Structure 1
Amino acid sequence: MLLPVVPIREGVLFPSTESVLTFGRKISLNAIEAAKNTKNLVILLTQKSPQVDLPQSKDLYRIGTLATIERTLDSEGRINALVKGMGRVEISEFISTRPVLKAKAVKLVDSIKQDNEMKALTSHLQSIFRKSIHMGKPVEFINFMKLMSGVTEGELADQIASTLSIDTNKKQQILETTDVKKRIKKIIEHLTREMKVLEIEKDVVYKTQKKFDKSMREGVLRERLRTIQKELGELEDEEEVAQSYEEKLKKITLSKDIKKKISKEIKRLRSMSPNNPESGYIRSWLDTVFDIPWNTDSKVKTTLKRAEKTLNKSHHGLKEVKDRILEYLAVLQLKQKNGKDKTAHVPTILCFVGPPGVGKTSIGRSIADALGRKFTKASLGGVRDEAEIRGHRRTYVGALPGKIVNGVIQSKSMDPVFMLDEVDKIGKDFRGDPSAALLEALDPEQNKEFEDHYLDMPLDLSKVIFITTANTLDTIPHALRDRLEIIRYSGYTEDEKFNIAKKHLWNKQLEANGLEKKDTKINDSALHYIIKRYTREAGVRELERTIGKTLRKVARKIAEKELDSIEKTTLNIKQLKDHLGPEIYDVTLTESENRVGLATGLAWTSVGGDMLFIEVALTPGKGKVILTGKLGEVMKESAQAALTYVKANLNKFNIDKKVFETTDVHVHVPEGGIPKEGPSAGITIATAMISAFTNRPIKKDVAMTGEITLRGRVLPIGGLKEKSIAAHRAGSKTVIIPQKNERNLADVPDVVKKDITFIPVSSVDEVIKLALC
């Protein structure tokens, strides 16, 4: 049969099915017009590619559907046609392509074999199709009723195939399958896959709907709760909150840019729904901004005399620190007096460096009292995240401002005394370098516009007096250390500890243990006894704990009514022994007699000065040098230098050179569990070696410190003040120091210089004359 051909861009019309198709191309419109001469019969062929606008015979599949055009409707140059599939046809030859595409076609007949398998396949297909409809597969009710009765196996397969959600190529494969069994099997395969998708979609829809219903319910309940709270006056709406922020903004003086940024956030808050979680973040940010004391400074005016009196009252000693604070205050007063700057400030960052317990942290509050300013403190020990200093960016959930901004907020003043404690113990890891974050805050040239990540706006820190504390400078990065004015703390002398204990610690511990001054007293001799026999430290923390331990014993006895009168509660040395137990330390650390090969040196550590004993023993061997006591590389080199000096001067000290061939030299520094490092023990090691080789004892009450060279010169050392205090504490009477350190004796406390004779030397020869018996 010769019929007009209508190309279809996409989709397949199956036999025994009806569909409304829209045609707009000229080749399709001509074919529909020509169908009037063929009893409305046409051949529908699907294009191999939908992108082809003017399909040729090679662009069409060879098997299509014989269809009849039931009705047509013109619509703006297009034709909507109701088309009914009549059967399968295969093109044998294309006759013409213009103006109408015509072709000869042969009708294809279904191949069907009626047996049990066919019945089973047909029944299964109907069953899963019915199940798919229950699962939500969209099918018109009329078509469904047709499918369920009065159709052949081939018609059933074609009608169900027309409902499948598969691509055109797979539908064409089904159309080209004339074997009904194979056609049904393909349809079952696609329909089963489609059902799995429907099952997943159904589960997703159920979960989404459940979640949506829960959210809707919570939203409704929250809205009702807000309405009830508003009626009760317990909740402000967003407009009222925004209005209150605007009132606060009017009351503070800020730069134009900062006000603009705050106004923008208030405007965002006003436009947001109360249920929007971001409104909570904006309110938190605005609360932080308005908590900053933008225009608040300290009103208290102080004088030099008042400041000096305050400092002396709270801390004993620390003359250098007090002088520096008074200098700061003097400059500030002069600048204000001369009218050069009404809000004058001195750009300086102090750093107190010294051993624990010497009052570095506590003097910060005293400085604030002396200057009449607020005091705030941030401990930086163990801080590893840069955000803890500069704050988190607002994009993070739970973002907060950093320690700098929080400190200013807590002080409620823009010019507090801000103590950054333990800057030498700041960590560093993959989250950043917190010490680098401090650079901007501690730089007087930059901190006028310090920018916290959370605030995201400049904050003037130029009026803040920053004070930092550290036990050592070694772990502070150079860039940070360069911004600090270093003030070193030394350990306290016994007299200073006595005065601190009597004036401050005793009264503090009385109050801490629920006692009054009338309840107990302590003799001066007993207080000295505690300092000498139960504590040995650079600071006074252990001393305070020991006094507290004593007073707890007294408090218990008073509570148990064992003590009735004041006389019984006056503490003396005998009672101290009962309260504190056996003495922990000897009065002196020096030896009881002069010994060969045992010299007393002085060491400096981050926790103050200390005594360092050097032992040298000669044993049979082959001239080896044995170094023990956990010595560092520099100290080992000092021992080698000392031995070389001795070997180079055998005649001077009357030492037989053969002794080095038969003797090993063992240098040991006791307390082997403690690392020791530094060059200042050089003359001590040399003295101990010469004593051992010459068998001359070393004077027991002589201590020494100094670096040695191969030519026997004595080089200067550091930490003389701390080492001198340690020698005084240990009971030394004579201390040998390098000649070039004589100028540092001005830093040594008078009480130490009164009890110790300092002898400057420039060579090892002088040391030997003074130290050996």
Structure 2
Amino acid sequence: MVENKRQIPLLPLRGLLVFPSMVLHLDVGRQKSVQAIEKVMEEDQQILLATQKEISIDDPTEEEIYRVGTLAKVKNLLKLPNGTVRIHVEGLKRARIEKYLEMDEYLYVEAVIEDEEDVSPTTELQALMRNLLTMFEQYTKVSKKVSAETVTIVKDIQDPSRFADVISANLPLKLAQKQTLLELTSVEDRLLQLIEILNNEQEVLGLEKKIGQRVKKSMEKTQKEYYLREQLKAIQKELGDKEGRSGEVSTLREKIEELDMPENIKEKALKELDRFEKMPANSAESSVLRTYLDWLIQLPWTFETEDQLDVIRAEEILNEDHHGLEKVKERVLEYLAVQQLTRELKGPILCLAGPPGVGKTSLAKSIARSLNRKFVRISLGGVRDEAEIRGHRRTYVGAMPGRVIQGMKKAGSINPVFLLDEIDKMANDFRGDPSAALLEVLDPEQNNTFSDHYIEEAYDLSKVMFVTTANNIGTIPGPLLDRMEIISIAGYTEVEKIEIAKDYLLPKQMKDHGLTKGMLQVKDEAIQKVVRYYTREAGVRSLERQMATLCRKTAKRIVSQEKKRVVLTAKTVEDLLGKPRFRYGMAEEEDQVGAVTGLAYTSAGGDTLSIEVSVAPGKGKLTLTGQLGDVMKESAQAAFSYIRSRSGDLNIDPNFNEKNDIHIHVPEGATPKDGPSAGITMATALVSALTGRKVKKEVGMTGEMTLRGRVLPIGGLKEKSMSAHRAGLRTIIIPKDNEKDLEDVPDSVRSDLTYILVSHLDEVLEHALGEME
């Protein structure tokens, strides 16, 4: 290879590179470039073409132009009307710029021209050329970017250098790649570089072809599915099925997208919807999946009603719906007040404990109304299956969510007042323990991620205000009881019952029976007689039935006897309700020997309990009758042992247990009785029977005792006091430790009773027994 230096004008090219042996037209518009062309046209018509590194630069410096270019000859020149010049150039030889001589008027450089000597191709070069030609032909067939005429021209070229340059010029390469090929002076290097480039291009073209085929196949599949769906729609339309499965799926999808669900729930719903869409309509799982999607859509996930946090209004509503129950109302109003200040307090779990008919369920409804929340009630009485709370897994036939989730769906909001009725009447068996499943529901720290087996996703119960009801908290498991705030609702006093009947029960029953105030008037004395002689209960359910009976019989009189108005007094009540069912005042009519009135606490409220003792000559046999439980039997044994140990002080024959048979009986033997509060009552009855001292008729008592005569505290003092008041007792003997519980007793009851606080059996005997005759 021969090199010679020349001084020659330079034409910088933008986005274009010219190889030796390449012929093409160029449009030149820059002033310096036009002047350079005019200069060469005056001389030998040869110019140096070099490419700019950056296309956007109008006036490039020497660093912004590649050093290697092509010496070219301007064969023709044409000036265009817009001031640009169109030239026809032919690439001649490679040239390397040594230095720039002129930069102002036009670019003028000193360059080294590379003259390649004509050398016949060696065997190695021929092999490279043949390999390159084969690859070039394959490339042109696949890419279709190179014409067939070019391949024919390339086949006829024998010179290796020209052969490489022509192929380089016709390949759609990046400018940097072409510049690299131009700068290679060795023909062998150029051929090897081109083989490598074509090899890479063929791999890329192969991948492009695969991708294209895949895309085409996917498009064909999509078009096919669309076509089939359209056909299916047409068929369904002809058959009268306007929407079909696709319409159902689209409707469900719209609902899911519109609902304000948590992201994980929405993702789950859409995933299950896709499964439902692909599933055959007649498959068993299809209906299961459809039901599951309905549950996900219909459950409230984020919607909550706005609390009406007005304490005064809430108090008015609670007083309007319920008479008395001050403690419960106070607790609800406290909750409202705290909510008004913080608005973030987790829902409390209240347990309304009390006998039937005192208004526990209706009170929960009033709480919901005062809060302006939705109200939901589920009954847990007799529930034995854990799945009733947590739901069944979807794999089972007929699976459905548990009662908690069912209640939330019914409520339609995430913050209802949720009543769990009769929580003390749940049971457990081989199907699990539902009370244990409720532990998560009623724990404010856990129920924000409540897990239902059917729904499978965590559900937030933390904003729900749970209210539970129970008749007897003693049957509620300890861990469950620990999660609830117990609010005891005792029975009503006679005065309260009369007020409730006047203000709530009678107006309601008159409305239900179509009676107006002008048709029926019930005097207060008539209501009092109904309360005293026709009902005996802690609540007012039986009283409401009696009010209904009065209204029913009044309606018959008005219709059959054509009366316009009926007035009920104490005398006329007996004509409608029959003979009195109960004797008002259960206290003994006179002082008795061996008969003591005890006070008991049952699931239906307080009650009086008569305990009788008889002593007869015998061999010291102790008999206990009256369906007594183990605790009461032990109380009798303890009382018997105490009396034996204190026989001398009590003026009793020390050998009474060897000469007499003693029989302790509690009447109403068909009713089971048990509890730790009859100890002093049995002891007093035994002492009375053995000494002959009479028991004062107006005295009632409650309390357990030890073998040393110490009196132990009891529970349910409020209920026992009310039963004593109802029974006509005047004096109640209670353990001294129960003094603090007197605050719970209503004033109307406490003012009519005399409470004697005792700590030892000797004090009980002193107040309960009369003088020895």
Normalised by the size of structure 2, how large is the TM-score? Answer: 0.68
Query: Which residue in 1 is equivalent to 2:637?
Result: 640
Tell me how far apart the structure 2 counterparts of residues 250 and 228 of structure 1 sit (CA, whole Å): 29
Q: Unaligned stretches of 5+ in structure 1?
A: 1-223, 337-343
Q: Does 1:243 align with 2:250?
A: yes
The residue number in structure 1 matching 2:658 is 661
User: 1:345·1:462 contact (CA, 8 Å) conserved in 2?
Assistant: no
Task: For residues 388-445 of structure 1, give each alpha carbon's deviation from its aligned partner in whole angstroms, at most 9, with x where no partner exists.
Answer: 2111111122221111111111111110000011111112222222112212111111
What's the CA shift string for 1:42-84, capped at 9, x where partnerless?
xxxxxxxxxxxxxxxxxxxxxxxxxxxxxxxxxxxxxxxxxxx
Alignment of 1:587-602 (within 5 A): 587-602=584-599
Displacement of 1:227 in angstroms is 7.6
Residues of 2 paired with 1:543 and 1:534: CA distance? 8
- The within-5 A match list for 1:454-469 is 454-469=454-469
Mark the CA change 1:227 to 1:430 in structure 2 (over 3 Å): closer, same or farther. Answer: farther
CA distances 1:173-208 after superposition (whole Å, capped 9, x unpaired): xxxxxxxxxxxxxxxxxxxxxxxxxxxxxxxxxxxx
Corresponding residue of 1:436:
436
Contact 1:378 1:403 in 2 (8 A): yes
Matches within 5 A, 1:326-337: 326-336=333-343
d(CA) in 2 for partners of 1:229, 1:388: 41
Match for residue 325 of structure 1 among 320, 332, 343:
332
* CA 1:406–1:534: 2 relative to 1, 3 Å: same
Match of 1:650 in 2: 647
User: Is 2:670 the counterpart of 1:673?
Assistant: yes
Alpha-carbon offset, residue 602 of structure 1: 0.5
Correspondence 1:270 to 2:277: yes
Q: What corresponds to 2:73 in structure 1? A: none
* 1:570 to 1:413, Cα distance in 2 relative to 1, 3 A: same
Alignment-derived partner of residue 705 in structure 2: 708
CA-CA distance at 1:237 after TM superposition: 2.2
Q: What is the CA-CA distance between 1:301 and the residue it aligns to?
A: 2.2
Give 1:250 deviation, angstroms. 2.0
Asked if 1:727 is matched to 2:734, the reply is no
Residue 713 (structure 1) shift: 1.5
Q: Does 1:537 align with 2:537?
A: yes
Counterpart of 1:576 in structure 2 is 573
Note if contact 2:375-2:416 (Cα within 8 Å) is conserved in structure 1. Answer: yes
Q: How does 1:167-178 map to 2 (within 5 A)?
A: none
Task: State the distance in 1 between where 2:694 and 2:512 align.
Answer: 51
Contact 2:309 2:339 (C-alpha < 8 Å) held by counterparts:
no
For residue 741 of structure 1, what is the aligned residue in structure 2? 738
> Which secondary structure does the structure 1 equivalent of 2:292 belong to?
helix
Report the Cα distance in structure 1 between the residues aligned to 2:535 and 2:696, rounded to whole angstroms: 26
Q: In the alignment, is the contact (CA less than 8 A) between 1:644 and 1:710 conserved in 2?
A: yes
Name the CA distance, whole Å, in 1 between partners of 2:514 and 2:347: 44
Query: What CA distance in whole angstroms lies between the structure 1 residues aligned with 2:723 and 2:412?
Result: 43
Letter in 1 for 2:411: S
Change beyond 3 A, Cα 1:741–1:512: same
> For residue 461 of structure 1, what is the amino acid of its counterpart?
L
Mapped contact 1:332–1:346 kept (Cα < 8 A): no
Quote the offset at 1:225 in angstroms: 13
Q: CA distance change for structure 1 residues 335 and 680 in 2, over 3 Å: closer, same or farther?
A: same
- The corresponding residue for 1:128 is none
Counterpart contact for 1:680–1:707, Cα < 8 Å: yes
- Tell whether the 8 Å contact from 1:328 to 1:346 is kept in structure 2 after alignment: no
User: Which whole-Å deviations, capped at 9, do the CAs of 1:278-311 have from their partners, x for residues lacking one?
Assistant: 2222221111111112232113523000111111
Alpha-carbon separation, structure 2, partners of 1:359 and 1:301: 23
Q: How far does residue 535 in structure 1 lie from its aligned partner after superposition?
A: 0.3
Q: 3-state DSSP class of the match of 2:592?
A: coil
Q: For residue 231 of structure 1, report the CA deviation from its aligned partner.
A: 4.3
**Distance in 1, Cα, partners of 2:236 & 2:541:** 54
SS of the equivalent of 2:406 reads helix
Does residue 557 (structure 1) correspond to residue 557 (structure 2)? The answer is: yes
Rate the CA distance shift 1:249–1:632 in 2: closer, same or farther, 3 A: same
Where 2:286 maps in the other structure, the secondary structure is helix
Deviation at 1:226, TM superposition (A): 9.8
Q: Which residue of 2 aligns with 1:293?
A: 300
Q: Would the alpha carbon gap of residues 666 and 426 (structure 1) be closer, same or farther in structure 2, given more than 3 Å must change?
A: same
Checking the alignment, whether the CA contact within 8 Å between 1:733 and 1:755 is kept in structure 2 is yes
Paired letter, 1:246:
R
Q: 1:616 aligns with which of 613, 616, 622?
A: 613
Cα deviation, residue 233, structure 1: 6.1
Distance 1:228 1:524, change over 3 A: farther
Shift of 1:563: 4.2
Aligned-partner Cα distance in 2 for 1:234–1:547:
57
Change (3 A) 1:582 1:226: farther
* 1:301 to 1:508, Cα distance in 2 relative to 1, 3 A: same
1:300 and 1:446 map into 2 onto residues whose CA distance is 23
Q: Distance in 1 between matches of 2:242 and 2:397?
A: 24
SS in 1 for 2:280: coil
Deviations 1:2-28 (A, max 9, x none): xxxxxxxxxxxxxxxxxxxxxxxxxxx
1:148-175 deviations in Å (ceiling 9; x for gaps): xxxxxxxxxxxxxxxxxxxxxxxxxxxx
Q: Look at both structures and tell me which one has the larger radius of gyration over its CA atoms.
A: 2
Amino acid at match of 1:598: A
Q: Secondary structure at the residue paired with 1:398?
A: coil
SS in 2 for 1:627: strand
Q: Residue type of the partner of 1:673?
A: A
8 Å Cα contact 1:642-1:682 kept in structure 2: yes
Q: 1:650 to 1:226 in 2, by over 3 A?
A: farther
Deviation, 1:275, is 2.9
What's the counterpart of residue 306 of structure 1?
313
1:109-258 equivalence runs, <5 A: 230-231=237-238, 235-258=242-265
Any conservation in 1 of the 2:736–2:758 contact (CA below 8 Å)?
Answer: yes
Once residues 305 and 590 of structure 1 are traced to their aligned partners in structure 2, the CA distance between those partners, rounded to angstroms, is 44
- 1:413-424 correspondence runs (5 A): 413-424=413-424
Q: Show structure 1 runs of 4+ deviating over 4 A.
A: 224-229, 231-235
Q: Which amino acid aligns with 2:285?
A: E
Tell me how far apart the structure 2 counterparts of residues 693 and 397 of structure 1 sit (CA, whole Å). 70
Shift of 1:688: 0.9
Paired AA for residue 374 in structure 2: K
Please give the secondary structure, in 1, of the residue aligned with 2:601. strand
- Check whether the contact 1:736–1:761 (CA below 8 A) recurs between aligned residues: yes
Q: Tell me, what secondary structure is at the counterpart of 2:296?
A: helix
Taking the aligned partners of 1:552 and 1:272, their CA distance within structure 2 comes to 60
- RMSD in angstroms over aligned alpha carbons? 1.8
Shift of 1:771: 0.9
Q: Do the aligned partners of residues 479 and 573 (structure 1) sit closer, same or farther apart at CA in structure 2, a change above 3 Å counting? A: same
3-state SS of 1:755 partner: coil
Which sits farther off after the overlay, 242-251 or 446-455? 242-251
d(CA) in 2 for partners of 1:225, 1:701: 90
Counterpart residue number, 1:401:
401
The structure-2 alpha-carbon separation of the partners of 1:527 and 1:406, relative to structure 1 and needing over 3 Å to count, comes to same
Maintained 8 Å contact 2:262/2:301: no
Determine the C-alpha separation between the residues in 1 that align with 2:555 and 2:241: 51
Partner Cα separation in structure 2 for residue 585 and residue 366 of structure 1: 33
In 1: Cα distance, 2:661 partner to 2:283 partner: 82
User: Residue 756 of structure 2: SS of its match in structure 1?
Assistant: strand
CA 1:261–1:383 in 2, change beyond 3 Å: closer, same or farther? same
